[in-house]
């Protein structure tokens, strides 16, 4: 039986703390599904928290939204291809992740191509590619994977079905994003605020633009199994917008934003266990995490509003 079975909201934290302390002391512990969920979500929160601020600064959140949606086309295409050629022998998370990564990079490449070659406005290019590829993905899901529930899992996520592979992939991605941002923080910062100034300093702004697109594609791919393609945008944008209410310096935002995402992930998993244990209601863990992100932003915005109001009253 799971160590978290029957745990309420606060009991979940007590059990987690107790198990962490026992692990630190060297006691062998059996892995639990709740801890696997939490580990994956924490890593995704770190990855999103490092990439999200630059996406907002460069006004590329719509492109991130397009990437998170068009991942569905790659997932269903990989499933259909392996099912047809190898009779589902290669149907695995690795295969689906490869298909999702291919479609995400294809989306970014087509979007940039339409903007640079055909001189389309960036938002028009994103909307055209996003609507076309996402519609094609929905069409394929409706026609060929109706009995597999692939579309539901890819859109809404399936935290309860995560495996060790998902944790390994998420840890590697969080490490990659941390290393890249740490090494090229100055380049990303300057090119995000002023691309012309970056070019004058000899910084290849185009290269770092595509590098950011690549990292965003990886984030969307890693998150589609855990929180779904429709919910990853909240993790990319929500914690950053919440942190920006009180913090202005980018270096501090890159620290606080992942921490806020991790806190929301922790609370979301604890709420999921609470509703299941106390009320017998199996709610989507990914959906709860996003609801917590929205609620946290609303609370911080209200607090900020009261503080501003008091300042004006004193003046």
In a domain, 4, yes or no: no
Using alpha carbons, select from 170, 257, 177, 249 the residue that is nearest to residue 211: 177
Residue 192 lies in a domain: yes
290: in domain: yes
Residue 61, number of CB atoms within 10 A of its CB: 17
- Supply the mean pLDDT for the chain: 83
The answer as to whether 1 is a domain residue is no
Instruction: Say how many C-beta atoms besides its own lie within 10 A of residue 266's C-beta.
Output: 19
- Whether residue 49 lies inside any domain: the answer is yes
The model's pTM = 0.86
List, for residues 186-233, the tens digit of each pLDDT value.
999 998 888 888 888 888 988 898 888 888 878 877 777 667 766 788
Examine residue 198 and state whether it is found in any structural domain, yes or no: yes
User: Is 253 among the domain residues?
Assistant: yes
Q: What is the CATH number of the domain that holds 142?
A: 1.10.3470.10
Containing structural domain, residue 228: 9-314
Supply the pLDDT for residue 89.
47
Total domain count for the chain? Answer: 1
Report pLDDT for 145: 66
Residue 2 belongs to a domain = no
Q: Checking phi first, is residue 97 left (phi over 0); if not, alpha (psi -120 to 50) or beta?
A: alpha
Q: What is the pLDDT of residue 32?
A: 75
**Mean pLDDT (whole number) for 9-30:** 86
pLDDT of residue 153: 57
């Amino acid at each position: 039986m799971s160590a978290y079975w029957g745990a309420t909201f606060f009991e979940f934290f007590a059990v987690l703390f107790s198990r962490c302390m026992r692990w630190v002391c060297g006691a062998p512990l059996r892995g639990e599904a709740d801890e696997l969920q939490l580990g994956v979500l924490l890593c995704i929160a770190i990855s999103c928290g490092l990439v999200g601020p630059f996406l907002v600064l460069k006004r590329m959140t719509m492109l991130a939204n397009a990437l998170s949606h068009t991942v569905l086309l790659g997932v269903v295409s990989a499933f259909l291809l392996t099912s047809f050629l190898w009779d589902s022998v290669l149907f695995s998370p690795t295969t689906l992740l490869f298909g999702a990564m291919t479609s995400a990079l294809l989306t970014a490449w087509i979007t940039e191509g339409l903007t640079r070659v055909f001189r389309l406005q960036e938002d028009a290019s994103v909307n055209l590619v996003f609507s076309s590829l996402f519609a094609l993905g929905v069409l394929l899901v409706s026609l060929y994977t109706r009995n597999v529930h692939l579309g539901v899992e890819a859109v809404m996520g399936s935290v309860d079905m995560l495996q060790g592979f998902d944790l390994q992939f998420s840890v590697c991605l969080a490490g990659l994003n941390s290393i890249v941002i740490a090494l090229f923080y100055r380049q990303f910062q300057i090119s995000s605020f002023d691309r012309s100034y970056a070019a004058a300093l000899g910084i290849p702004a185009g290269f770092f633009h595509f590098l950011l697109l690549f990292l965003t594609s990886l984030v969307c791919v890693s998150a589609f199994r855990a929180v779904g393609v429709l919910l990853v945008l909240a993790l990319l944008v929500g914690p950053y917008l919440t942190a920006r209410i009180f913090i202005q310096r980018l270096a501090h935002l890159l620290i606080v934003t992942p921490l806020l995402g991790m806190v929301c992930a922790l609370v979301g998993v604890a709420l999921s266990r609470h509703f299941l244990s106390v009320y017998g209601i199996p709610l989507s863990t990914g959906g709860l995490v996003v609801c917590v992100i929205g609620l946290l932003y609303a609370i911080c915005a209200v607090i900020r509003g009261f503080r501003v109001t008091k300042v004006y009253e004193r003046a």
